[in-house]
DNA sequence: GCCAACGTTGGC
DNA sequence: GCCAACGTTGGC
């Protein structure tokens, strides 16, 4: 009997011996809570992306994020914009901060036997010399389909198209960037 | 600091 | 299952 392989998106990215397709993401953080400077200063320039308490964001991390995927690091609220790139270095595992009643993200509904919340680990790849501001992103026609730019969007972990990722990295590399 | 938009909760 | 109330996010 032949083994059937299916994934949430119907892609054969786990067939044996086949290279998995690399994906691109964007994660948000309020710099007051955890900034890209904090990531740069962390041991091994690495952190667990804990505290996500939104099911859609959790599903992206738990079901779709793979080691090697690249991640745009976005600062929200304070001078909002993309400030650098990170990489997924560990795939989803239970977010233990949900079990800690002293943690601000404690969730009494999540118990260790059946964890409700998951996190991945990311490592800094590069910090941009010049942030690509939200205002700049809004001015670029090719980026208008991004979830990030949708009105009222509050997702803190979201997929990004490869072309969007590349374009934003290119913008960060250009000089004379309006801020 | 304001407030619109959103996700979650809970009464019914 | 509906939906009003509530707490949170995040741009401005």
pLDDT range class, residue A99, cuts 50, 70, 90: confident
Phi-psi region of A45 (alpha: psi -120 to 50; beta: other; left: phi over 0): left
Q: Which of A76-80, A111-115, A143-147 has the lowest mean pLDDT?
A: A111-115
Mean pLDDT of A3-21: 54
User: What are A29's strand-pairing partners?
Assistant: A75
pLDDT tens digit sequence for A46-73: 999 999 999 999 999 999 999 999 999 9
pLDDT of A1 > 70? The answer is: no
pLDDT range class, residue A18, cuts 50, 70, 90: low
Sequence-distant (≥ 6) Cβ neighbours of residue A22 within 8 angstroms: A66, A68, A69, A70
The residue assigned the tokens 């955890």 is A34
pLDDT tens digit sequence for A127-178: 999 999 999 999 999 999 999 999 999 999 999 999 999 999 999 998 654 4
Residue percentage of chain A with pLDDT more than 90: 75
Neighbours of A81 (CB within 10 A): 20
Q: Do residues A147 and A159 make contact, with C-beta atoms less than 8 angstroms apart?
A: yes
State whether the beta carbon of A150 lies below 7 angstroms from any atom of strand C.
no
The strands making up A81-94's β-sheet, listed across from edge to edge, are A46-48, A118-133, A81-94, A70-75, A24-29, A157-160
pLDDT at A4: 44
- CA of A18, C1' of C5: distance in angstroms: 51
pLDDT at A104: 85
pLDDT at A143: 97
Task: Provide residues 7-26 of A with CB closer than 7 Å to any strand C atom.
Answer: none
Measured to protein CB atoms, the chain B nucleotides within 7 Å are 1, 5-9
pTM of the model: 0.87
pLDDT tens digit sequence for A23-48: 999 999 999 999 999 999 999 999 99
pLDDT of A7 > 70? The answer is: no
pLDDT of A2 > 80? The answer is: no
User: What are A84's strand-pairing partners?
Assistant: A73, A127
- CA of A5, C1' of B2: distance in angstroms: 51
Mean pLDDT of A106-111: 84
């Amino acid at each position: 009997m032949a083994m059937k392989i299916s994934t949430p998106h119907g892609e054969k990215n786990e067939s044996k011996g086949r290279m998995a397709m690399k994906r691109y993401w964007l994660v948000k953080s309020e710099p007051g809570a955890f900034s890209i400077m904090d990531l740069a200063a962390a041991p091994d320039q690495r952190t667990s992306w804990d505290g996500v308490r939104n099911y859609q964001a959790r599903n992206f991390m738990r079901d779709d994020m793979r080691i090697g995927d690249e991640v745009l690091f976005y600062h929200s609220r304070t001078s909002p914009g993309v400030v650098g790139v990170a990489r997924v270095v560990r795939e989803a595992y239970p977010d233990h901060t949900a079990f800690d009643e002293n943690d601000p993200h404690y969730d009494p509904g999540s118990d260790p036997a059946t964890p409700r919340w998951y996190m991945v680990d990311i490592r800094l790849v590069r910090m941009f010399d010049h942030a690509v501001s939200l205002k700049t992103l809004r001015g670029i026609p090719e980026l208008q389909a991004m979830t990030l730019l949708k009105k009222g969007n509050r997702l803190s972990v979201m997929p990004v198209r490869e072309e969007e990722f590349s374009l934003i990295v290119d913008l960060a590399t250009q000089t004379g960037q309006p801020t």
